[in-house]
Amino acid sequence: MHDSNPNSTASVAGHPLHPMLIPFPIAFFVGALVVDIVYRQSLDPFWPEAAAYLLGAGLAMAALAALAGLTDFLGDRRIRSLRAAWYHLIGNVTVVLIEAINLWGRIEDGISFVLPAGLGLSIVATLMLLFNGWKGWEMVYRHRVGIAQEAKDLTSS
């Protein structure tokens, strides 16, 4: 169908996987920022360790979400033709790299890495997540990526 919505290739029973998976790494990465801020205020050594676990879990879940997102990106040329898709892809890869560096620094240098480097990286990653989410929103709500054709038909009635 020529005017159909761009398809989500990675889906289960017609439900795209990427939007189901992406809240997990976002929550873990933002959670790492929150506990970095708590550490800055308390200097309790529990918090940098908690942040390291959150970063590790975030990276693991980001890998799963990235597989689903990349499958969608490569699965439909109309998605690849969207500027928002490219910004979303590059932005998310950048966040994963930032958070991988953040975790590596914590493992390598320990608690001394957290202030200011780890906190700074957590802030930058969280701000980038806002931009990346905006671009993801644009793909779904403006370009209708992964939206069932029936949903489009219902809204145009």
Q: Tens digits of per-residue pLDDT, 125-135? A: 999 999 999 99
Domain spans of the chain? 11-144
- What average pLDDT does this structure show over 116-143? 96
Which among 4, 1, 33, 40 has a CA at the least distance from the CA of 145? 4
Residues 34-45: pLDDT tens digits? Answer: 999 999 999 999
DSSP structure class, residue 141: I
Q: Which residues pair with 15 in a beta bridge?
A: 12
Residues 73-110: pLDDT tens digits? Answer: 999 999 999 999 999 999 999 999 999 999 999 999 99
Phi then psi for residue 153, to 5 deg, are -65, -40
The pLDDT of residue 15 is above 90: no
What per-residue confidence (pLDDT) applies to 1? 44
Does the global pTM surpass 0.75?
A: yes
The pLDDT of residue 7 is above 90: no
**13 — pLDDT class (breaks 50, 70, 90):** confident
Structure tokens at 57: 């879990």
CB 56: neighbour CB atoms within 10 A? 17
Please list, residue by residue across 58-91, b when 16 or more beta carbons sit within 10 angstroms of its beta carbon and e when fewer do: bbebbeebbebbbbbbeebeebeebebbebbbeb
What per-residue confidence (pLDDT) applies to 157? 52
What per-residue confidence (pLDDT) applies to 149? 64
Classified as helix, coil or strand, 83 is helix
